Structure 1
Amino acid sequence: MADQFCSKYPYAIILLNLSFVFLVSCLLTAHFWIDRNPTSDHYKTADTETGCKGIQMLENRQEKCSYVKSHEGCKSRGYIPYLHLFYCTFSPVLGYVSLSLWLVLLFYLLADTASNYFCHSLVGLSEILKLSPTAAGISLLSLGNGAPDVFASIISFTGDGTADIGLNSVLGGAFFVSCVVVGIIGVSVGNDGARISRRGFIINVVVLLLSLVCLLLIIAVGELSLWAALSFLSIYFMYALLVFACPEAKQSENGLMHDVEAPLCCYMDNDDGDDAAGCRPNDGKKGGVVSKMLCILELPLYLPRRLTIPLVSEDKWSKPFAVSSVTLSPIALVLTWNSNSTKLRALEIGGSVGIACGILAFCTIQRSNPPRKCLLFWLSEGFIMSVTWAYVLAQELISLLVSLGIILGIDESLLGLTVLAWGNSVGDLVANVTMAQKGGPDGAQIAISGSFAGPIFNTVVGLGLSLSFSAWKTYPASYAVYVDKSVFVTIGLFMVGLIWALLMLTKRKMVVDKCLGSGLLAIYLCFLSLQIARIFGLVEILVPNL
């Protein structure tokens, strides 16, 4: 999806790259020229109970700057100190512009990494492991489609006090896709008389309803054992068995069998891939000064990932990038995953391993064709490095959302429910609606199936893995689930939307029409209105203690 966007809107990608260069320039200027004298009490005061909420009580920026420097709770959870930059370095206007641009860039980078790198490795692995279309659809391909939501959820649950963001982003994204995307599909193809499979649709809706009921019980109880978390995760295995028992597959145009009951991977091969130099063709022109200048302008966001993630395919193969990826990836892994106490020693080992692998690759691989032997190694490296990049980007995105919540005085869980959920669901909106409108006789079937099967994966696997990792950390004690009780409203309206879709489609003989679509859009509009009223203090959502 991101690669198609790049091909269709090359100048938008150039604008994103220029924005990235602008932000990096601002950061470097702030680091080397403006902020050379930090206060001595920087990050000394332990304030973990209140976090950074106390900053809202202060009036001027100087006081807020001192507060940020002296409170541990204001320390960034990512690599960039957003609050310090906003209150102590940038002017208000530059601060808002920079954080807004960086938010857009992070969404783009996370989606583009999943689409062009993560999914590429997953498709290759599914082929080399000779997985059936159904097995690939419910495992590797669905993981590629839901990667942004899954990584954001896991990162948020591993942080202190950010579980709300992950929970609400997954639920918000699943709610958006199942209601808004399906609603738009119903309105847009309502006059075509498109029908979908009754059996597959009922399986998807029932499994999604079951997962939401289990999630409600987990939140109501307030604590979770490791075995309970694994039991919640096992719902997806039950779903997989149902898909295997009731397979309904169609042959796609590019020869890859997609199971219509499983989410479709966002990666699709196209002829506008990377050329040998690593630049994307612009407007179909590979030569000329203007085209080369445009390629150069695309490099800031493109080059770091291309240098560390191998792409093993005929149209994207490049020996220089392949050698650089095996050389730099061990160093990148050390910088990302290793603790500060042993980082220097680990860097020495990682650098030695990288240089050895780079020399071996340079001497064994061909310039014109990707390797035929040891293909599993290259695909596995691409998978691992894609995961690493997605982890870093998701961590930074969660950190930025927390900082924006503090700056704007908005609960960060609400940002996860709206901004993060919408950002991660834009690809599903464009892809599924386009598939329904232009996908031929089976377009509506594939689009509707993906709009329900995708949320199943994100809800069960995304939250299931997050809860399992959290419960594992506290094992043998139970993991305390502290989330905003207003999540009951989200889940409740989500279930209302699913029941509406189930009733309307079964009553109308599985015809996707405008009545289905308008009802789903109305339900989501009610949900959104409640959230907006909550932001402005017009409505207080009260849920009795259970």
Structure 2
Amino acid sequence: MESTVKNKKLPLPYIRYIIDAIIVLGISLGTDFLGRLIGPSEIGFYCNDRSIRYKYQEERLGNGFLAFYSLIPNFILVFIVETYRILRIDGIEEFSKYEVGRSKAQRIFVRVATIYGYHTASIAAVGFICNTVKYPLGILRPHFLDICRPNIGYDHCNTTELITDYHCTSGLTGQIREARLSFFSAHACLCIGSATFAVIYLQDRLYGCLYSDVILLLIQSAYFCSSLAVACTRILDHYHHPYDVIVGALVGIVVVTICKPPKMSVDFKAAYAALVQGLQNQTRLPSYMQSDDDFDDACSLQVGWSREQSCNYVTTHYDNCEGGGYLPWTQIIYCQPTELTEVLLLLVSIFWLLQLFILLAVSADEFLSTNITTIADKFGISQSVAGVTLVAFGNGAPDIFSAIASAVSDESPKAGLAIGQLLGGGMFITTIVVPVVIFIAPIQMDPIPTLRNLGFYVVALLWLGMILFLRNTLMIWQSVGFLFIYIVYALTVVSGRMLLRLQKWREAKDAMFVRPSTGHPNRRESHPNTISGTLANLERSNTIKPAASSESSMYSRAEDDALPCQDVSLQGIALDFFNRLNCINVEEFKNASIYLKIFQIFQFPWMILLTLSTPLAQPPWCKALTSLHVVVSPLFLLFAFQLFDSDIFGIQFPLWAMSLILSGILLAFVLLFTKVNQEPKYYKLIACCCGFVVSVGWVYVVAAEVVSAVQMLGVLSHLSPEILGVTILGWTNSIGDLVADSSLARQGYSHMALAAAFGGPLFNLLIGFGLSFTIALLQGKTVEIDVDIEKIFMYGFMCISVVGSLTILVLSRFRTHKFYAMLLFCVYFLFMVALILAETVFRGS
């Protein structure tokens, strides 16, 4: 009996559907025709009103695109969702056939037609309201004066009164009529209305039907944000005022909400409460995205434990509570006899963390980057290749080595900390540094390098999303995939540079046959048009960052000396040695600001320590310092990579003893076969290579200690590693980029600053994630990546930032506007609000 009811043929009231369609079409076309027949109201204007004096430009997204966007995507959406419900939820048997006269119709087509009919009816209602308001009001568009060119008040404005007695002199009748139809925006009304219908429809038809309701939230957010981007183009094209777009969006939301299908009821309050509960418990995530025990890899100190219990816990759970550095900070803090001692040590640890950030900046900028640029020069590496490899590695060393330290320096890789730092730093640069540069100097960006950088960024984020949402255990091929994407990116940059040079060579060759030679050699272009040229300029100006500024650079004076020390006496050698250790110029120190003085005082002991252990090729030859490097540098490398007490091939002979033997042989060679006042032939080449290796060791050691201190602060504050990565690590590692790129923009190099702002985070993500976890997996470690709400928010907002920037720049023809900068600021603000909610509301803490 039940089967008979399901297979019963239902009569379809198709005549009513046809009449409804005719009424909807008649209302939509009739109001538009009537408005065009009567014409808009002709109101006056104030000639000093700057809001209507914008230049006219062709609209990017016209009425044809508007019709397509408001109708076609939702039809595809409805068809896909209804098909999904047939196959996965409702079942085939639920879709009995309808009778249309003597013909049969599948129920799915009837359902699609019914739902989509309500959508088209709502779009027609929106169009009716829009035309009903536009024509009677006749509000002027921002480019009205440029289109109309009135005989009064256009060239000369000598009155503050309303001008009503005027006539347009441009002769553009159709465009003048359109220029009086500003309020409100039909693009915003229809696009936002279509997005509202899609959000309500998806919430009604798919809520509770997917693996995770967060996926549904991301789909709805992406749909709505794309519609918002389309609406904002009307402001960028000077077709609408901001309030036109805002009112149009509100009208679209209200009308579509009223015109939704009567059976489509959505309780957003209950849906939000269920979503929050699901995010707290993570019960809606599929089983393969959940670990067996969410607290196995966390340092779970309980509130109310005694000092002895906490100390025993952090001691027995060393791998979970420590960050893998050389000092067990969590154990040091919790295993103190009194609370006063604990507080004092906590203050000391915070001061130590600040010192570590200074040491990290100095070791990366003064030593690692300097040796990298020298290697590129000595080995004749082209600027395009060096720009995307060595120079990018030097500029991103703090981020990369912090990620490597969080993955390699501990038996339990801190994947959440690495992801938080890389995505947090990327968010800070793309939504804070980029808009700051735009506010300083808006420019016309170069299309090809911008598309390349953002395009590869999108590919990298898609690969990261596949890793996050596929399974909770990282595989070797997934981490290697990031390195492969980087290789393709580097090859693209290098090949693009080679093609550009080939094109210029052909143009120069053709010019030789067109015009006679002037006797002047061809000059290279001074402003780079590609990211490779930008990075090449960054290579030449690598001392822009604060830690490597000319005022604080240790070797800003030493390079002025053309020759090594000429005084071969013992006193002259000692004086030359101590001059190398003196990194503060007294005259520059007196003229420096108070902040720079404090910074130089704090970095002074670290500069001495780095100078005593790290070779540099830029200053002149110093025999005494080189002799010290021969002994100290190998021992430091063994300490940095934790090989100090390791044996050689199983023989009971430690590496530190072997290092001393080899260093003694090299020391004898330096003392016997080199001169004090004459630099050896291959000294600079050997010094830059050895200095590069030692600098890498220094950056790795400091990064590991930073991760350890940050892990301790996370245990004390009960904050997740993702939040710590976004805030402490992300902010501190990105402050240098903010200062450097804003300084470049003030000097007129905004192209270079924006190229570095988009290319730097991409390099850090590909190398920082790919290299660090590839090394960890090759060591036999298991990398667990549990998908929690923080990672979802970080990944989602990072996608919004990159894809949104790509969309807006393409729609604005790569012209940066302050409106775009404000949107980026808002994205970062919402990102931080979401993370705060994730730590408080969603986690229930």
TM-score normalized with structure 2 length: 0.52
Task: Find 2:379's aligned residue among 121, 129, 136.
Answer: 129
Mapping of residues 182-197 of structure 1, within 5 Å: 182-190=434-442, 194-197=443-446
Q: Report the equivalent of 1:267.
A: 542
Q: Relative to structure 2, which stretch is displaced further, 108-117 or 351-360?
A: 351-360
Q: Report the equivalent of 1:181.
A: 433
Distance 1:367 1:491, change over 3 A: farther
Distance 1:485 1:532, change over 3 A: closer
Question: Following the alignment from structure 1 to structure 2, what is the Cα–Cα distance between the partners of residues 318 and 213?
Answer: 51
Q: Report the equivalent of 1:147.
A: 397
Question: Following the alignment from structure 2 to structure 1, what is the Cα–Cα distance between the partners of residues 580 and 494?
Answer: 43
Q: Report the equivalent of 2:775.
A: 469
Q: Report the equivalent of 1:309.
A: 614
Task: Find 1:505's aligned residue among 809, 821, 824.
Answer: 809
Quote how far apart the aligned CAs of 1:186 are.
1.6
Mapping of residues 336-347 of structure 1, within 5 Å: 336-337=640-641, 338=643, 340=645, 342=647, 345-347=654-656
Question: Following the alignment from structure 1 to structure 2, what is the Cα–Cα distance between the partners of residues 526 and 182?
Answer: 17
Question: Following the alignment from structure 2 to structure 1, what is the Cα–Cα distance between the partners of residues 316 and 405?
Answer: 25
Question: Following the alignment from structure 1 to structure 2, what is the Cα–Cα distance between the partners of residues 54 and 471?
Answer: 25
Any conservation in 1 of the 2:371–2:691 contact (CA below 8 Å)? yes
Mapping of residues 98-113 of structure 1, within 5 Å: 98-113=348-363
Q: Report the equivalent of 1:53.
A: 299
Question: Following the alignment from structure 1 to structure 2, what is the Cα–Cα distance between the partners of residues 370 and 532?
Answer: 58
Q: Relative to structure 2, which stretch is displaced further, 227-236 or 112-121?
A: 227-236
Q: Report the equivalent of 2:687.
A: 378
Letter in 1 for 2:647: T
Quote how far apart the aligned CAs of 1:128 are.
1.2
Task: Find 2:326's aligned residue among 68, 75, 79.
Answer: 79
Q: Report the equivalent of 1:528.
A: 832
Letter in 1 for 2:452: I
Distance 1:400 1:326, change over 3 A: same
Distance 1:371 1:119, change over 3 A: farther
Letter in 1 for 2:457: L
Quote how far apart the aligned CAs of 1:422 are.
0.8
Is the radius of gyration larger for structure 1 or structure 2? Answer: 2
Letter in 2 for 1:104: L
Letter in 2 for 1:119: S
**Gap regions ≥5 residues in structure 1:** 1-47, 288-293, 542-546
Distance 1:227 1:61, change over 3 A: closer
3-state SS in 2 of match to 1:404:
helix
Q: Report the equivalent of 2:344.
A: 94
Letter in 1 for 2:432: V
Q: Report the equivalent of 1:417.
A: 726
Distance 1:372 1:252, change over 3 A: farther
Question: Following the alignment from structure 2 to structure 1, what is the Cα–Cα distance between the partners of residues 439 and 420?
Answer: 27
Task: Find 1:277's aligned residue among 580, 601, 618.
Answer: 580
Quote how far apart the aligned CAs of 1:224 are.
4.1
Distance 1:77 1:198, change over 3 A: same
Q: Report the equivalent of 2:367.
A: 117
Distance 1:528 1:370, change over 3 A: farther
Quote how far apart the aligned CAs of 1:310 are.
0.5
Task: Find 2:466's aligned residue among 217, 233, 255.
Answer: 217
Question: Following the alignment from structure 1 to structure 2, what is the Cα–Cα distance between the partners of residues 434 and 389?
Answer: 28
Distance 1:177 1:368, change over 3 A: farther
Residues 45-71 of structure 1, C-alpha deviations (whole Å, 9 max, x = no match): xxx975673433344435433444455
Q: Report the equivalent of 1:237.
A: 487
Letter in 1 for 2:418: G
Any conservation in 1 of the 2:645–2:656 contact (CA below 8 Å)? no
Aligned residues between the structures: 476
Q: Relative to structure 2, which stretch is displaced further, 197-206 or 77-86?
A: 77-86
Residues 104-133 of structure 1, C-alpha deviations (whole Å, 9 max, x = no match): 111111121110111111111111111111
Q: Relative to structure 2, which stretch is displaced further, 335-344 or 146-155?
A: 335-344
Question: Following the alignment from structure 1 to structure 2, what is the Cα–Cα distance between the partners of residues 505 and 420?
Answer: 29
Distance 1:426 1:128, change over 3 A: same
Quote how far apart the aligned CAs of 1:80 are.
1.0
Question: Following the alignment from structure 1 to structure 2, what is the Cα–Cα distance between the partners of residues 106 and 298?
Answer: 10
Quote how far apart the aligned CAs of 1:327 are.
1.4
Q: Report the equivalent of 1:291.
A: none
Question: Following the alignment from structure 1 to structure 2, what is the Cα–Cα distance between the partners of residues 296 and 187?
Answer: 33
Query: Are residue 168 (structure 1) and residue 420 (structure 2) matched?
Result: yes
3-state SS in 2 of match to 1:259:
helix
Query: Are residue 200 (structure 1) and residue 446 (structure 2) matched?
Result: no
**Gap regions ≥5 residues in structure 2:** 1-293, 502-523, 559-578, 591-598
Letter in 2 for 1:310: P
Q: Report the equivalent of 1:453.
A: 759
Question: Following the alignment from structure 2 to structure 1, what is the Cα–Cα distance between the partners of residues 718 and 800?
Answer: 31
* Structural RMSD (CA): 3.2
Question: Following the alignment from structure 2 to structure 1, what is the Cα–Cα distance between the partners of residues 668 and 414?
Answer: 43
Quote how far apart the aligned CAs of 1:448 are.
0.4
Task: Find 2:790's aligned residue among 486, 492, 508.
Answer: 486
Question: Following the alignment from structure 2 to structure 1, what is the Cα–Cα distance between the partners of residues 481 and 666?
Answer: 41
Quote how far apart the aligned CAs of 1:140 are.
0.5
Q: Percent identity?
A: 25
Distance 1:232 1:334, change over 3 A: closer
Q: Relative to structure 2, which stretch is displaced further, 240-249 or 78-87?
A: 240-249
Quote how far apart the aligned CAs of 1:412 are.
2.1
Q: Relative to structure 2, which stretch is displaced further, 355-364 or 129-138?
A: 355-364
Question: Following the alignment from structure 1 to structure 2, what is the Cα–Cα distance between the partners of residues 217 and 205?
Answer: 18
Distance 1:353 1:239, change over 3 A: same
Distance 1:209 1:433, change over 3 A: same
Distance 1:216 1:286, change over 3 A: closer
